[in-house]
Amino acid sequence: MNSPSDTTSAVRRPTTNVKISAIRNGNLIERPDTVATEEPMEIRIHGPNQDPSPVTVTMRTPGNDYELTVGLLYNEGVITHRDELKTVCYCTNVSKIEQRYNVVTVELASAYLNTAKERSYFSASACGVCGTTSIDDIAAKAPPVKNSFTISSETILALPPQMRPAQKLFSQTGGLHGAGIFDKYGNLEIVREDIGRHNALDKIIGHYFMEGLLPLDEKILVLSGRIGFELVQKAAMAQIPIIVAVSAPSSLAIRTAEELGITLIGFTRDESANIYSFPERIITS
């Protein structure tokens, strides 16, 4: 795959400076503030000698846009292997120059048939599964995770505090979700942030996909917030066996994890955590 460098951090800032009125000690004062940037990104796909076809628009925080694009397309089943990708680049053929870095075009190595989806769909920054309607749909694309490696409870409890300093944009804004991948020994490998929690995970999976490093069957996913159904779905696509989060899972997230062989751990704070599925992967002293 041949792609130019993703330069969004330079041309589309992930944070935006604003002026606010703040209440401090009973007084109203004006002061500068920094908030997370949220902008739409359109994804277009084409094959050789085909015109690019728009397939989706997602709201995201600029940065690692190529990873986000590839991760989303992989998780939706549009692409399955690295050699299916020829190029990923920003689109220069847009009506407004300021939107140049909000459109990503993917060229496939063979013709794009558009048979898997045959529709355009809009994905808001917290929507989730982008058209997936049931656990059966997920199971058809992602087989159950079989890896049964174990890890100590002490290592699990240490993961969120280890990831927190790497969430640089959250430190600036307080308004971004983080996702991180750790190896089975508890070493941090990568962190991605986005205003959409599912986008942060798409960026991670896109990164490993483009590096030819999927599946992630000996990795641990750590999330900065709650665990929704769509995050379990995406973890299953990458064959991640353990998900750790600082907040709660939803009921459907738990049921999906049970169906797909994923250990789900929530409320991982201080010296405690709740294990909702497959606790046999966690070893206590």
Q: Which residues are catalytic?
A: 127
CB 39, CB 50: distance < 8 Å? no
Among all chains, which residue has been given the structure tokens 């997370």? 36
Q: Would you state the structure tokens that stand for residue 212, as one six-digit string?
A: 């030819």
Query: Who's near 120: CB < 8 A, 6+ residues apart?
Result: 54, 55, 56, 57
Q: To 5 degrees, how large is the angle CA 146–CA 186–CA 150?
A: 35
Task: Kindly state the tokens that stand for 223.
Answer: 């999330």
Cα distances (angstroms) measured from residue 138 to each of 75, 104, 145, 156, 276? 10, 26, 12, 27, 20
SS3 46: strand
